[in-house]
Amino acid sequence: MTLVQQLASSTATTIHNAAHAAVTAVEVGSTVHDFVTVTGQPAKPVPTGSVTVDWFLNGTCAGTAAASSSTLGPLDASGRLDATGFAFTVNSAGQRGFIAHYLGDATYAASDGSCETLTVVDANIQLTPPTGTNPAGTDHVLTCHVNVNDSTGSVSAPAGTACTGSIQNGPGSFVGSNQCTTVGTTGDCQLTITSSVTGTTTISASTDVVVGGLTLRRQTGDIHAGDSANATKDWTPTTTTQLAALLTAVTGVGPGTSLADKVTQIQAYVAANDPSNACKALNDFLNQVKAQAGKKQITSAQAASFTAQAQAVKTTLGC
Ligand SMILES: [Zn+2]
């Protein structure tokens, strides 16, 4: 028997993402595996055989591995192995680690790689208030908030992080820019929308925020954990639009112009910012409708419609 002195080997690892690009930081939801390279001595055979890989839920490979691979191999003709069968999807921000072990062959002794640290980053975005009701023609302010997590904990995004609003559905437009940048350490900035017509508007917000050197795209209404839903806004009729519609409805209806005259009077009080007299005039209008219906000067259907419209104006005015 001849005692063979094995040569020293060295083991190095690179973390790959699913596309086999070398990475040291990834965003939440990525899937990673280890790429192992075992190097021998100059002018000697390339190392052969197998490796094992350990996976840690910390960045220093401290303590017991969260998972250890079975024996993986053989190494290719260049002493490498892409451990795609030992892959992990990272679902939370924080640090992880891979470490590889070469098991040795007839020529080379076993060797351990060093701990390869993976940084997992995350971000999220919210748009508030989630719902709201405003009279058409008024401004409504939405707050966009962005959080980032560089693996050490979730904090508000740095000052100047851009948030871009977009109307996904419904009427309206942004007042000024549809983009704002977060202020100070708040992670907040404001977007303003308005609509001249009634309806429901769905608004989204998105950001491309840099965390740990990676640009993360986040958008409300997507499936990413932590992102809020899109915001919705109901634009209700204004007294102006309600009264214009009522005037059209009563013009030429009933004896003379008394109904139309009363609506015109209400419009004048509203225009003069005199809700008290506008409310009184609305009651006069309702009494007139009742009187004309009693005398069959207008139909009961007309009376019901005019009454409902006038009541809606009273609600808008706060009578
Ligand atoms: Zn790979």
The pLDDT tens digits for 163-185 are 999 999 999 999 999 999 999 99
Whole-model pTM: value is 0.81
Tell me: pLDDT of 188 over 60. Answer: yes
Tell me: pLDDT of 249 over 60. Answer: yes
- What is the pLDDT averaged over residues 253-278? 96
Angle in degrees, 0-180, between the axes of helices 300-317 and 258-271, rounded to the nearest 10: 10
Q: Quote the ligand 1 centre to 142 CA distance (angstroms).
A: 44
Tokens 């549809």, residue located: 178
Q: Quote the ligand 1 centre to 22 CA distance (angstroms).
A: 8
Q: Quote the ligand 1 centre to 117 CA distance (angstroms).
A: 16
- pLDDT category at 2 given cuts 50, 70, 90 is low
Q: Quote the ligand 1 centre to 14 CA distance (angstroms).
A: 9
Give pLDDT, residue 3: 59
Q: Quote the ligand 1 centre to 84 CA distance (angstroms).
A: 6
- Residues 271, 244: Cα–Cα separation, whole Å: 12
Closest CA to 184 of 159, 215, 210, 214: 159
Q: Quote the ligand 1 centre to 83 CA distance (angstroms).
A: 7
Tell me: pLDDT of 153 over 70. Answer: yes
Tell me: pLDDT of 4 over 90. Answer: no
Q: Quote the ligand 1 centre to 230 CA distance (angstroms).
A: 37
Q: Quote the ligand 1 centre to 60 CA distance (angstroms).
A: 21
State pLDDT tens for residues 15-63: 999 999 999 999 999 999 999 999 999 999 999 999 999 999 999 999 9
Amino acid present at 138 = T
Tell me: pLDDT of 1 over 60. Answer: no
Tell me: pLDDT of 105 over 90. Answer: yes
- Residues 219, 32: Cα–Cα separation, whole Å: 24
- Residues 213, 54: Cα–Cα separation, whole Å: 26
Phi then psi for residue 63, to 5 deg, are 75, -155
DSSP calls for the chain: -----PBP-EEEEEEEETT--B-SEEETT-EEEEEEEEE--TTSPPP-S-EEEEEESSTT--SS-SEE---B----TTSEEEEEEEEEE--SSEEEEEEEEE---SSB--EE-PPEEEEEEEEEEEEESSEEEEETTSEEEEEEEEEEESSS-EEEPPTT-EEEEEEEESS-EESS-SEEE--TTS-EEEEEEE-SS-EEEEEEEEEEEEETTEEEEEETTSSSTTPPPPEEEEEEPPHHHHHHHHHHHHTT-SSTTHHHHHHHHHHHHHHTT-HHHHHHHHHHHHHHHHHHHHTTSS-HHHHHHHHHHHHHHHHHHT-
Closest CA to 142 of 183, 194, 185: 194
> Would you mind telling me the total number of residues written for the chain in this entry?
319
Q: Quote the ligand 1 centre to 25 CA distance (angstroms).
A: 15
- Residues 166, 230: Cα–Cα separation, whole Å: 10
- Residues 167, 205: Cα–Cα separation, whole Å: 9
Q: Quote the ligand 1 centre to 95 CA distance (angstroms).
A: 20
* Arithmetic mean of pLDDT over the chain: 96
Q: Quote the ligand 1 centre to 32 CA distance (angstroms).
A: 8
Question: Which residues is 6 bridged to in the sheet?
Answer: none
Report residue 314 as tokens.
């009273």
Q: Quote the ligand 1 centre to 80 CA distance (angstroms).
A: 11
Q: Quote the ligand 1 centre to 17 CA distance (angstroms).
A: 7
Closest CA to 225 of 119, 95, 90, 124: 124
Give pLDDT, residue 290: 97
Q: Quote the ligand 1 centre to 201 CA distance (angstroms).
A: 45
- What is the pLDDT averaged over residues 201-214? 97
Q: Quote the ligand 1 centre to 150 CA distance (angstroms).
A: 24
